[in-house]
C-alpha cells in the first residue's frame, strides 16, 4: 500500500488520518499494518522516529468491536511517558467514537482505577507492565477476553526488568494470543519470552540502514586541558538553541551538571529516573510551555520522552551502550527539521568514536574559542599517524627474527636492527607524502 487511502479503514479513521495530515505510511507501517489486520503475530524491529506507534494503533482501532464492552487489546510500554504518548495518539484516532480506552501507569490512584473497573472494562488498555499486572492480579482488569497484546520497546522493558510482569498478565490472556513486539534491538535473553508466546512470528527488520544521520550535524568537541563543565559552558555560549537536551550517563552526574549551570546563571530543567511522578509531570509541563532552553537528562529521556522542538543534543558523556547514543541524537531533527548533536570527548573515548563512525555517524571535529566555531582535523591526522606507526612496527618485526641460538645482548641487537628498519621506513613514507599533490 503506497497511501493510507489504499487501506480499507473505517470512515472515521480515514477522516482522522486526513485531519492529522498523514498521507503515506512509513516503511514499518507498510509491513506491520497488514499483518496486524490479519491477526498474524510479528516482531517489528525499528528505531525511534520510524512511525511504529501508528503501525499498531491503526490496525488495532480498525479491529475493535464497539459493541463488545470487554478488553480487546492490551498495549504495554516500559515508561510512563511512553505509555502516555501512545495513549494520547490513540485518543486522537478514536475521537468521536464510542471506543473506550484507559491508561494505567504508576503514580496514579490504583484503588480508584479498580473501583471504576467494577462497572466497565475498557476495550483498549494502555499502560506500564507493573500497573497492568497489579490490576490483573486483583481481578479488576479482565484481560482473558483480549486476543491482542502489544509489547512496545521490548528491549528497554527487558533492561528495566519488566518482562516478568508482562509474562505475569500475558499468561492470563487467551491461548491463541496474538503478540506484536516492537523493539530497536532483540537481545538474546529476550528469546525465551518470545518463544513462549509467539509461534513462528514474522520478523520485520527495518534498521539495516540507520536513518539517524539524516538532518543531523554531528560535532565532536575535544575537552583537552579544560574541565568537562567548563567545556560544556563554552559550547552553550557558542549556540543559541530553541531547546537543547544535555545527556549524562547517571542521575548523579545530571544533578551535578544542572547545579553547575545554575551557578553560572543558566536555568536548566532536569529529567531522570529518580524524579517522582508528580515532579516529572510538572517538569514535562514546564518543558512543553518553553520555560527552559536547556534540559539535563539521563538516557531514560532518550527512549521515554518525546519533546517537540529539540534543536540541539549535547552529549556531556558518551554512553557505554552506544545504542543509547543513537536514541539520544534521535531526539533532534524530527519531522523533517534539522538538528545538531554535539559530543564532548577525551582521548580515551577514541574507541567509542571509531565504533560510532562504523555505524555511519559522520563526525566533524570542531573547537570553540570565544564563541566562534573552528574546524579541526587533528583527530583523524593522529589516527592516521598511529595507524602508520603500527604498520611500520609490523614491517620491522617481520624483518627481524629472533636467532635460533641466542647470545647475551641479543635483544639489544634486535632492537637496534628494528629501529634502523623503522627509521628507513619512516623516511620512505615521508618522501611519498611529500610527492602527493596538495589539495
- pLDDT at residue 379, rounded to an integer: 57
**What pLDDT is attached to residue 181?**
96
Examine the domain organization and report whether 318 and 399 are in the same domain: no
- pLDDT surpassing 50 at residue 108: yes
pLDDT of residue 406 exceeding 70, the answer is no
CA 244, CA 229: separation in Å to the nearest integer? 16
Collapse the DSSP code of 244 into the 3-class scheme (helix H, G, I; strand E, B; otherwise coil) and give the result.
Answer: strand
Residue 178 shares a structural domain with residue 49: yes
Percent of the chain with pLDDT over 70: 89
pLDDT score, position 326: 82
Task: Note whether 296 and 246 are within 8 A (CB).
Answer: yes
Characterize 146-174 residue by residue with b for buried, 16 or more Cβ atoms within 10 angstroms of its Cβ, and e for exposed: bbbbbbbbbbbbbbbebbebbebbbeebe
Domain that holds residue 226: 216-376
Which has more confidence, 388 or 349? 349
Residue 67's pLDDT is what? 95
Same domain, 42 and 94: yes
Q: What was the pLDDT predicted at 438?
A: 45
364 and 408 both lie in a single domain = no
DSSP per residue, 82-127: HHHHHHHHHHHHHTTS---EEEE-TTS-HHHHHHHHTT---SEEEE
Q: Is residue 383 part of a domain?
A: no
Answer yes or no: are the C-beta atoms of 149 and 74 closer than 8 Å. yes
Average confidence (pLDDT) over 183-209: 85
Q: Please report which confidence band the pLDDT of residue 337 belongs to, taking 50, 70 and 90 as the band edges.
A: confident
* Residue range 247-258, pLDDT digits in tens: 999 889 999 999
Return the pLDDT at 439: 40
Residue-level pLDDT at 399: 83
Mean pLDDT across 322-334: 82
Residue 343 included in any domain? yes
Sign of the dihedral defined by the CA atoms of residues 317, 319, 322, 325, in that order = negative
Same-domain pairing of 186 and 224: no
Report the DSSP beta bridge partners of residue 202.
42
- Confidence at 292, pLDDT banded by 50, 70, 90: very high
pLDDT in tens, 366-398: 998 888 899 887 555 545 555 566 677 788 888
10 and 138 co-located in one domain: yes
Q: Say if residue 158 is in the same domain as residue 193.
A: yes
What separation in angstroms does the CA of 107 have from each of 31, 131, 154, 159, 169? 35, 9, 22, 21, 20
Residues 145, 91 share a domain: yes
Tell me the average pLDDT across 298-322.
Answer: 81
pLDDT of residue 101: 97
- Number of residues that this document lists for the chain: 439
Report pLDDT for 58: 96
What pLDDT digit, counting tens, does each position of 20-37 carry?
777 788 889 999 999 999
Same domain, 347 and 430: no
Q: What is the pLDDT of residues 414-429, one digit of tens each?
A: 888 888 888 888 777 7
- Confidence band, pLDDT 50/70/90 cuts, at residue 305: low
The tally of domains found in the chain comes to 3
CATH code, domain with 27: 3.40.50.300
In a domain, 89, yes or no: yes
- Lowest mean per-residue pLDDT among 49-53, 180-184, 331-335, 433-437: 433-437
Averaged pLDDT, 319-323? 77
- Confirm if 311 and 294 have CB atoms less than 8 A apart: no
Taking residues 80-109, what's their average pLDDT? 91
Lowest mean pLDDT among 71-80, 239-248, 350-359: 350-359
Q: Specify whether 220 is located in the same domain as 199.
A: no
Give the residue, 18 or 170, on which the prediction is more confident.
170
The pLDDT of residue 386: 54
383: helix, strand or coil = helix
* Cell numbers for 204: 520485520
Does residue 382 sit within a domain?
Answer: no
**Helix, strand counts (H, E) of the chain:** 17, 15
Decide if 385 is inside a domain: no
| φ, ψ for residue 99, nearest 5 deg | -65, 130
Q: Looking at mean pLDDT, say which of 76-85, 204-213, 253-262, 274-283 comes out highest.
A: 253-262
Domain check: are 365 and 418 in the same one? no
Amino acid at each position: 500500500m503506497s497511501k493510507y487511502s489504499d487501506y480499507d479503514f473505517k470512515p472515521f479513521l480515514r477522516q482522522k488520518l486526513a485531519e492529522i495530515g498523514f498521507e503515506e505510511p512509513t516503511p514499518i507501517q507498510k509491513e506491520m499494518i497488514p499483518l496486524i489486520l490479519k491477526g498474524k503475530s510479528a516482531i517489528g524491529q525499528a528505531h525511534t522516529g520510524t512511525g511504529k506507534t501508528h503501525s499498531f494503533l491503526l490496525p488495532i482501532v480498525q479491529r475493535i468491536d464497539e459493541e463488545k464492552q470487554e478488553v480487546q487489546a492490551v498495549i504495554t510500554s516500559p515508561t510512563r511517558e511512553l505509555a502516555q504518548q501512545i495513549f494520547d495518539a490513540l485518543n486522537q484516532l478514536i475521537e468521536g467514537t464510542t471506543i473506550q480506552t484507559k491508561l494505567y501507569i504508576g503514580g496514579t490512584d490504583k484503588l480508584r482505577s479498580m473501583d471504576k473497573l467494577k462497572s466497565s472494562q475498557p476495550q483498549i488498555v494502555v499502560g506500564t507492565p507493573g500497573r497492568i499486572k497489579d490490576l490483573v492480579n486483583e481481578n479488576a482488569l479482565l484481560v482473558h477476553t483480549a486476543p491482542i497484546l502489544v509489547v512496545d520497546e521490548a528491549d528497554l522493558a527487558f533492561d528495566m526488568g519488566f518482562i516478568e510482569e508482562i509474562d505475569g498478565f500475558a499468561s492470563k490472556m487467551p491461548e491463541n494470543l496474538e503478540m506484536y513486539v516492537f523493539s530497536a534491538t532483540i537481545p538474546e535473553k529476550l528469546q525465551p519470552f518470545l518463544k513462549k508466546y509467539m509461534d513462528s512470528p514474522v520478523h520485520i527488520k527495518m534498521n539495516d540502514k540507520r536513518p539517524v544521520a539524516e538532518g543531523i550535524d554531528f560535532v565532536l568537541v575535544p575537552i583537552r586541558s579544560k574541565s568537562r563543565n567548563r567545556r560544556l559552558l563554552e559550547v552553550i555560549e557558542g549556540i543559541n538553541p530553541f531547546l537543547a537536551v544535555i545527556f549524562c550517563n547517571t542521575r548523579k552526574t545530571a544533578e551535578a551538571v544542572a547545579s553547575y549551570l545554575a551557578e553560572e546563571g543558566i536555568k536548566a530543567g532536569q529529567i531522570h529516573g529518580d524524579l517522582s511522578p508528580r515532579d516529572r509531570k510538572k517538569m514535562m509541563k514546564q518543558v512543553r510551555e518553553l520555560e527552559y532552553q536547556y534540559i539535563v537528562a539521563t538516557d531514560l529521556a532518550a527512549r521515554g520522552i518525546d519533546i517537540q522542538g529539540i534543536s540541539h543534543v549535547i552529549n556531556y558523556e558518551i554512553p557505554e551502550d552506544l545504542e543509547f547514543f543513537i536514541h539520544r541524537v534521535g531526539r533532534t531533527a524530527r519531522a523533517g527539521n534539522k538538528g545538531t548533536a554535539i559530543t564532548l570527548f577525551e582521548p580515551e573515548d577514541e574507541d567509542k568514536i571509531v565504533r560510532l563512525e562504523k555505524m555511519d555517524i559522520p563526525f566533524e571535529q570542531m573547537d570553540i574559542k570565544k564563541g566562534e566555531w573552528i574546524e579541526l582535523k587533528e583527530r583523524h591526522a593522529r589516527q592516521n599517524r598511529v595507524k602508520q606507526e603500527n604498520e611500520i612496527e609490523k614491517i620491522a618485526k617481520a624483518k627481524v627474527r629472533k636467532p635460533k641460538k641466542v647470545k647475551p645482548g641479543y635483544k639489544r641487537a634486535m632492537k637496534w636492527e628494528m629501529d634502523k628498519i623503522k627509521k628507513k621506513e619512516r623516511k620512505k613514507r615521508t618522501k611519498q607524502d611529500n610527492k602527493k599533490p596538495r589539495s
